[in-house]
Structure 1
Amino acid sequence: MARPDIPASGKAITADWMRRALRAGGASDVPAIQQVAVEDIGSDMGLMAEIVRCRLVWSEPTDAVPASVIVKLPSPAERSRRLSRLQALYKREYAYYRHVAPQGAMRSPRLLYGDYEEKSDRFVLVLEDLGGMHTGDQLAGATADEARSAIRAVARLHGRNWNAVGQPPLSGFHDVGSPKNRTVVQIIFLAYLVPTLEHFGSFFSDEMRALVEAYGPRAADHLADLRATPQTFVHGDYRLDNMFFDAGAASDAAVVDWQVSGLGNGLYDVAYFMGGSVPTDIRREIERDLLAEYAEIVRGMGARDFTFDDCWRLYRQNMLACFLIMIIVCGGLDLDDARMRRLVETGMRRTLAAMEDLDAAEFLPAPRPVLSPSNLFSSLSRLAYRGYRTLR
């Protein structure tokens, strides 16, 4: 069956388009749709994409197809679309739902239909609506039970793919630590560091400001160091706002927003979640116990030589890498939205506190040999950053 065109926006979704999409996605005996009511939920759930809920009115009663679905489309903001193309964000999320989600290692919305156009970098995902579950509150922060559920869930995803990144379906997935990608990440990071410190500099202690400015020209080296550690499939933006929970007893978190997913060290997801989504006092109380449970789950799935000490060291090393998304989000996106600004500020306070608690500065990469390409790139990056900062 021919694939329907990708809608220009949520407003362009029609009853006929939705029926053709569901049929192209494999649903059989799809009755006619009388009406599609489109509700914008992107302001609450997404920065880098347009996200809408479509409530479907069917021509006849049916249990074979849902009463509502979530549709994800490219962002209407040109700046976000440029960043997506540069970092292959839409392609990465589409690839997750097509190739990794079927593993069943982590709960995520069921893909009902998806399409991606390489040339235009346009995409559409029609996903199961998880509206019957409750979301975490990023501003309030995760409870101890929510944190435990999140760490258990991501441990199973990581354990399922531990050191299997050269095998299908993971071979060919985005590898943020590859030489090409880590170079791009460092350039973006330094470009956004200047506006971040202009707008949010008061959140940085003198020590943290010195650390982030030292880290910028060495970010690629840090990613190279992390690439030499055990690799798996990572979510990349593993935070409470991207999680849904069943009501009542602790259950596995269902996780959305896979745009920055790819290959990396699994403790990045853990550090990013614990640092940014868990209130500092709760994190300090539970983090060692949760890291021990994470290591136990991963060992039980085949990584027999993965000790708690290995896990704890990688957790601390990856906490330093949490600068990456923090700076790119703060410096590169429109933060006029009041809630989003509070969200970023809250996450920044928590993450900077975690970096200090865990002495993440210990993992600032050592200088490379003077004439090495890595050191030359670092030196040029440092000069470019200083020049850009002066011109601002």
Structure 2
Amino acid sequence: MSNAATTAPALLDSTHEIDGPWMESVLAASHPTAAVRGVTTGPIGAGNVSDTVKVVIDYANRPEGAPASVIAKFKPSDPAVHAHGLGSGAYHREIGAYRIIGERGACRIPQAFHVAGDETNINLVLEDLTHAVPGNQVAGATPADAAAVLTELAALHATFTPMDTATAPDWLIRMSEAADYWAGITRTGAETAVERYRDRLPTADLDLIAAAGELVRSWYLLPQTRLTVSHGDPRVDNVLFEQVEGRTRAVLIDWQVTGLRNPMYDVGYFLSGSLSAEDRRAVEHDLLDGYLRTFSAITGGYPREEAVEDYRTQLLSGLMITTAAIAVLPDNDVVNTLILALLERNCAAAHDWDSIRATEQRVAR
């Protein structure tokens, strides 16, 4: 096979179409002398929102640095899941996120060898990080893991600060534009949670969940003076952890809900959902200080008083999304174990920071 004849990679519809010539065309940009004899593929992950395979590459000529294997992430073959991807704009956002974050080196994400697609399809060929340790949402993150995640989030947010709604890429989710859609789902989820978990959560948590459902639209519409690119779903199970020179580094994955948001949306989402209440209370302020140091080292400072005020309201992001998930996920033991772990953490954080009252006060301004 000759690289001289290699053309731009075709946009494929299925991971079953991945073959040697296509992979050679993908690698041509980064390794122009690579010659690929063939490939073998095997599925990885649960495949809930995409079809993802590991591609092992058989080279006729392997230049230095060429990967032995890559990860290919394509649109899902399940028609219902694909319909959700089409309706939600997930493909367009993940394509945009990998492009702009990769161009700026904003934070640690898998290296992208190929990013292609549009609103209807996606072809991602990424660095194989199957050696890294995936986060476990039910078990939660350790404080050291959390510090690694906040370092990457701070770098992401600072790199793209400041942004505004007029000039930001149009594919980023705007909170105000999502308000009506998510308000209905979250209210339904809140009503379901109060009934389903009546005997499994304390009354104070049930009351808080109900209050969040009533407040959700106003929360989405809160005016923000500080906006940036945000991940939107930084749960610990959307993070891989690798060891680099004896320290833990977080790799952020799954960028389907990337948006234009206040930085504390991501910070509050992660800390309120991925740390146990006990661990969060013990290290929360230290983690916020570390985040702000990283942020300030990259761009203009984020005053702590402003950050803390934003954090008080934005940490409701975790509770809002968990509650919305109740409306769309099946009612079974696996899902309920996950949801209850999240709700207990989300509610503890919202109680600790009096987030409902803080949001009501900001709405009333």
Closer/same/farther in 2, CA of residues 134 and 363 from structure 1, 3 Å limit: same
CA positional deviation for 1:282? 1.0
Match of 1:323 among 312, 315, 319: 319
Is structure 2 residue 349 aligned with structure 1 residue 350?
Answer: no
CA positional deviation for 1:310? 1.8
Structure 1 gap segments, 5+ residues each: 370-392
Query: Is contact 1:112–1:126 with CA below 8 Å preserved after alignment?
Result: yes
CA positional deviation for 1:100? 2.5
The secondary structure found in structure 2 opposite 1:246 is strand
Letter in 2 for 1:188: I
CA positional deviation for 1:318? 1.0
The secondary structure found in structure 2 opposite 1:183 is helix
Is structure 2 residue 13 aligned with structure 1 residue 7?
Answer: yes
Query: Is contact 2:97–2:258 with CA below 8 Å preserved after alignment?
Result: yes
Question: Structure 2 CA distance, aligned partners of 1:190 and 1:81?
Answer: 25
The secondary structure found in structure 1 opposite 2:73 is strand
Question: Structure 2 CA distance, aligned partners of 1:39 and 1:335?
Answer: 30
Question: Structure 2 CA distance, aligned partners of 1:289 and 1:86?
Answer: 40
Letter in 1 for 2:108: R
Question: Structure 1 CA distance, aligned partners of 2:77 and 2:340?
Answer: 24
Question: Structure 2 CA distance, aligned partners of 1:15 and 1:88?
Answer: 30
Q: TM-score, normalised by structure 1?
A: 0.81
Closer/same/farther in 2, CA of residues 322 and 94 from structure 1, 3 Å limit: same
CA positional deviation for 1:323? 2.3
Closer/same/farther in 2, CA of residues 155 and 217 from structure 1, 3 Å limit: same
What is the aligned partner in structure 2 of residue 362 from structure 1?
357
State the Cα deviation string for residues 241-290 of structure 1 (Å, max 9, x = none).
22222336334311111111111011111111111111221111000111
The secondary structure found in structure 2 opposite 1:42 is coil
Query: Is contact 2:112–2:124 with CA below 8 Å preserved after alignment?
Result: yes
Question: Structure 2 CA distance, aligned partners of 1:242 and 1:33?
Answer: 34
CA positional deviation for 1:49? 1.9
Is structure 2 residue 286 aligned with structure 1 residue 280?
Answer: no
CA positional deviation for 1:198? 5.1
CA positional deviation for 1:128? 0.7
Closer/same/farther in 2, CA of residues 204 and 314 from structure 1, 3 Å limit: farther
Is structure 2 residue 260 aligned with structure 1 residue 263?
Answer: yes
Query: Is contact 1:145–1:250 with CA below 8 Å preserved after alignment?
Result: no
Closer/same/farther in 2, CA of residues 166 and 30 from structure 1, 3 Å limit: farther
What is the alpha-carbon root mean square deviation over aligned residues? 2.8
1:292-303 aligned at under 5 Å gives the runs: 292-303=289-300
The secondary structure found in structure 1 opposite 2:145 is helix
Closer/same/farther in 2, CA of residues 344 and 54 from structure 1, 3 Å limit: farther
1:102-141 aligned at under 5 Å gives the runs: 102-118=103-119, 121-141=120-140
State the Cα deviation string for residues 55-109 of structure 1 (Å, max 9, x = none).
2222344434211111112234444333333321121111001122221120101
Letter in 1 for 2:19: T
Question: Structure 1 CA distance, aligned partners of 2:271 and 2:321?
Answer: 14
What is the aligned partner in structure 1 of residue 68 from structure 2?
67
Is structure 2 residue 73 aligned with structure 1 residue 55?
Answer: no
Structure 2 gap segments, 5+ residues each: 1-6
The secondary structure found in structure 1 opposite 2:357 is helix
1:137-148 aligned at under 5 Å gives the runs: 137-148=136-147
Query: Is contact 1:203–1:348 with CA below 8 Å preserved after alignment?
Result: no
Closer/same/farther in 2, CA of residues 335 and 284 from structure 1, 3 Å limit: same
Q: TM-score, normalised by structure 2?
A: 0.87
The secondary structure found in structure 1 opposite 2:173 is coil
What is the aligned partner in structure 2 of residue 378 from structure 1?
none
Question: Structure 2 CA distance, aligned partners of 1:296 and 1:2?
Answer: 43
What is the aligned partner in structure 2 of residue 374 from structure 1?
none
Letter in 2 for 1:344: I
What is the aligned partner in structure 1 of residue 174 from structure 2?
176
Question: Structure 1 CA distance, aligned partners of 2:50 and 2:190?
Answer: 23
The secondary structure found in structure 2 opposite 1:139 is coil
Closer/same/farther in 2, CA of residues 79 and 198 from structure 1, 3 Å limit: farther
Question: Structure 2 CA distance, aligned partners of 1:332 and 1:86?
Answer: 15
What is the aligned partner in structure 2 of residue 383 from structure 1?
none
Question: Structure 2 CA distance, aligned partners of 1:353 and 1:76?
Answer: 39
What is the aligned partner in structure 1 of residue 4 from structure 2?
none
Identity of aligned residues (%): 25
Query: Is contact 1:194–1:331 with CA below 8 Å preserved after alignment?
Result: no
State the Cα deviation string for residues 124-156 of structure 1 (Å, max 9, x = none).
211111123333333322222111111122112
Question: Structure 2 CA distance, aligned partners of 1:176 and 1:236?
Answer: 11
Closer/same/farther in 2, CA of residues 181 and 27 from structure 1, 3 Å limit: farther
Please identify, of 65-74 and 216-225, the stretch whose mean Cα deviation from structure 2 is larger: 216-225
CA positional deviation for 1:166? 5.5
Match of 1:41 among 41, 44, 50: 44
CA positional deviation for 1:232? 1.0
Please identify, of 318-327 and 211-220, the stretch whose mean Cα deviation from structure 2 is larger: 211-220
State the Cα deviation string for residues 294-316 of structure 1 (Å, max 9, x = none).
22333343333x32222222112
Question: Structure 1 CA distance, aligned partners of 2:313 and 2:235?
Answer: 18
